[in-house]
Amino acid sequence: MAETDFSAVIDFHSIENNSAENQALIERCTQFETPDPKDSKTGGGGGGGGGGPDGKSESTGCLLPVGARVWRIKGKSGFYVITNAVTAAEQWAWTKTIIRDYSKAAHTNLTNLKKPGADWEAVVKSDADAGGGGDFTAWNELRWSSLGYHYDWTERCYRADWKTPFPKDLNDYAARLARAVGYPSLVCEAGIVNYYPADTSMGAHVDDAELPPNQPIVSISIGNRAVFLLGGPHRSTPPVAMFVRSGDVCVMGGECRMAYHAIPRIITNTVPAALKEAAMSDTTLPARERDLMWEYLSGSRLNFNLRQVVDSEYTFERDLAERAAKKAKAQAHKIVSNAASVYGAKQMTEQLKREADTASGSGSGSGGGGAASTNTAAATKPVATSTNTYSAAAKK
Ligand SMILES: O=C(O)CCC(=O)C(=O)O
């Protein structure tokens, strides 16, 4: 098989190795970074590199680890990549939580781990029973679990009454990352945990079921490197390709909150040595279980995708009212169109539609601003390779 050509993919970890075209797209936002006290050049604080989502260039203080770098891409307003945002020790700690806790029913409405015994304990037991060589067959089918509000894949929305408590430590962690790049008030209420064994992918989609339009998504990568595609408001907008590595965080806010995005490739054998070191020096787990976890992680990628679902203005009640108004409007239009075609009075249709809108109370002035209720992510999970420009950008 021919080698993949990744030369068009932005690499924030090695700026000098990017194409001239990509170098021209990348901007560093030092005002969001934590100055290294040992470095006389950065010790005095940042400066330059563009502003926050509101266009202001304000420093957010020392919310990121020393060594974390904040990047943005020209033309992708509101989108940030924070490299080295999650330390190796934190990556391993989250890995254990994701594998042992967040894959379980207490936290989640699992999708595809419905086979009896298809859980982490079963992997550990199979290994003990066989005296080594744990059986990952069923476990490897796990693609996602959900935290907090559970997404209803059929209705393509969240529901007020369908949730488990969102883990406080994860909210605190992600909200700080969002704050670090100028989004001060994110409250994570829903989280998709994505499990990507090698050879899996995620098709192009927009996450638009969350109601407040101004809160970003925080997306945390652990394990193998992936190619992340960031497009625009339409599927036809050509995406920009970038690597996301273990410990990197993408914050999708502002104009990019509703951008199409996808993960077309997981690149194996790319887990950083520091993460292996953190795993291998962990003495809090039985050594064999630790080794099994490492075996899984070394062939996979994990991702937290964290979102706020409602706020004081964008509530479930408002969403329901807006959906009902939309439905009434669509029904009224259907009746008018049918009547117009029966009576051959097509020219009257627009006028009649306007009257129907007034009668159904759903004219263009009402409601306004609520998030759309469709979520194409539903159609793309479990992960699948799409056939549009998104998969073309990083084919094998
Ligand atoms: O894995 C990723 O980095 C992106 C995940 C994502 O887009 C989603 O869960 O909606």
Asked if residue 7 is part of any domain, the answer here is no
Residues 222 and 290 in one domain: yes
Q: How far is the CA of 55 from the centre of ligand 1 (A)?
A: 26
Nearest protein Cα to ligand 1, atom 5: 305
Lay out the sheet containing 217-223: strands in order across: 26-28, 69-73, 79-83, 249-252, 217-223, 300-307, 190-197, 144-152, 157-163
What is the DSSP-derived secondary structure letter of residue 335? H
**Mean pLDDT estimate for the chain:** 83
Lay out the sheet containing 202-205: strands in order across: 202-205, 261-267, 225-230, 240-244
Residues 108 and 256 in one domain: yes
Q: What is the predicted pLDDT for the residue at 152?
A: 83
Q: How far is the CA of 166 from the centre of ligand 1 (A)?
A: 18
Residues 355 and 389 in one domain: no
Number of domain units in the chain: 2
Q: How far is the CA of 221 from the centre of ligand 1 (A)?
A: 9
Residues 245 and 271 in one domain: yes
Mean predicted confidence (pLDDT) in 6-31: 97
CA angle (255, 257, 260) in 5-degree steps: 100
Q: How far is the CA of 95 from the centre of ligand 1 (A)?
A: 17
Mean predicted confidence (pLDDT) in 233-254: 97
| Contact yes or no for 272/246 (Cβ under 8 A) | yes
Residues 350 and 391 in one domain: no
pLDDT band at 144 (very low <50, low <70, confident <90, very high): confident
User: Which residues 6+ apart lie within 8 Å of 234 measured at CB?
Assistant: 260
Q: What is the predicted pLDDT for the residue at 145?
A: 87
Q: How far is the CA of 122 from the centre of ligand 1 (A)?
A: 27
Own/partner pairs, 382-385, CB within 8 angstroms, 24+ separation: 382/111, 382/112, 382/143, 382/144, 383/143, 383/194, 383/196, 383/200, 383/201, 383/202, 383/203, 383/263, 384/201, 384/202, 384/203, 385/201, 385/203, 385/264
Nearest protein Cα to ligand 1, atom 1: 303
| Element (DSSP H or E) covering residue 376 | helix 376-380
Asked if residue 30 is part of any domain, the answer here is no
pLDDT band at 154 (very low <50, low <70, confident <90, very high): confident
* Residue with the larger pLDDT of the pair 104 and 132: 132
Q: What is the predicted pLDDT for the residue at 52?
A: 41
| Contact yes or no for 108/164 (Cβ under 8 A) | yes
Q: How far is the CA of 201 from the centre of ligand 1 (A)?
A: 10
φ and ψ of 87, to 5 deg: -70, 165
* Residue with the larger pLDDT of the pair 155 and 185: 185
Question: Which range of residues forms the domain containing residue 328?
Answer: 316-365
CA distance 309 to 188: 8
Q: In ligand 1, which atom is closest to the CA atom of 305?
A: 9
3-state SS, residue 47 = coil
Asked if residue 280 is part of any domain, the answer here is yes
Residues 294 and 180 in one domain: yes
Residues 115 and 136 in one domain: yes
| Contact yes or no for 123/134 (Cβ under 8 A) | yes
Region of residue 98 (phi > 0: left; psi between -120 and 50: alpha; otherwise: beta): alpha
3-state SS, residue 323 = helix
Q: What is the predicted pLDDT for the residue at 210?
A: 96
Residues 167 and 244 in one domain: yes
Encode pLDDT of 44-63 as tens digits: 443 333 344 433 344 566 89
Asked if residue 17 is part of any domain, the answer here is no
- Cα end-to-end distance, the chain, whole Å: 8
Asked if residue 28 is part of any domain, the answer here is no
Residues 327 and 287 in one domain: no
Mean predicted confidence (pLDDT) in 382-395: 38
Tell me the best of 202, 221, 224 to mutate to test the pocket of ligand 1, counting ligand atoms within 8 Å of each CB and taking the most: 202
Residues 361 and 381 in one domain: no
Residues 218 and 337 in one domain: no
Asked if residue 74 is part of any domain, the answer here is no
Task: Name every protein residue with a CB atom under 6 angstroms from any ligand 1 atom.
Answer: 192, 194, 202, 207, 219, 228, 261, 263, 303, 305, 377
Residues 165 and 281 in one domain: yes
Q: Is the pLDDT of residue 75 over 80?
A: yes
Q: What is the predicted pLDDT for the residue at 1?
A: 66
Asked if residue 207 is part of any domain, the answer here is yes
Mean predicted confidence (pLDDT) in 142-162: 88
pTM for the model stands at 0.82
Q: How far is the CA of 317 from the centre of ligand 1 (A)?
A: 28
Q: Which among 272, 279, 277 has a CA at the least distance from the CA of 293?
A: 279
Q: What is the predicted pLDDT for the residue at 111?
A: 53
Beta bridge mates, 252: 79, 217
Asked if residue 6 is part of any domain, the answer here is no
Nearest protein Cα to ligand 1, atom 2: 303
Q: In ligand 1, which atom is closest to the CA atom of 207?
A: 10
Q: What is the predicted pLDDT for the residue at 361?
A: 53
* Residue with the larger pLDDT of the pair 332 and 228: 228
CATH code assigned at 240? 2.60.120.590
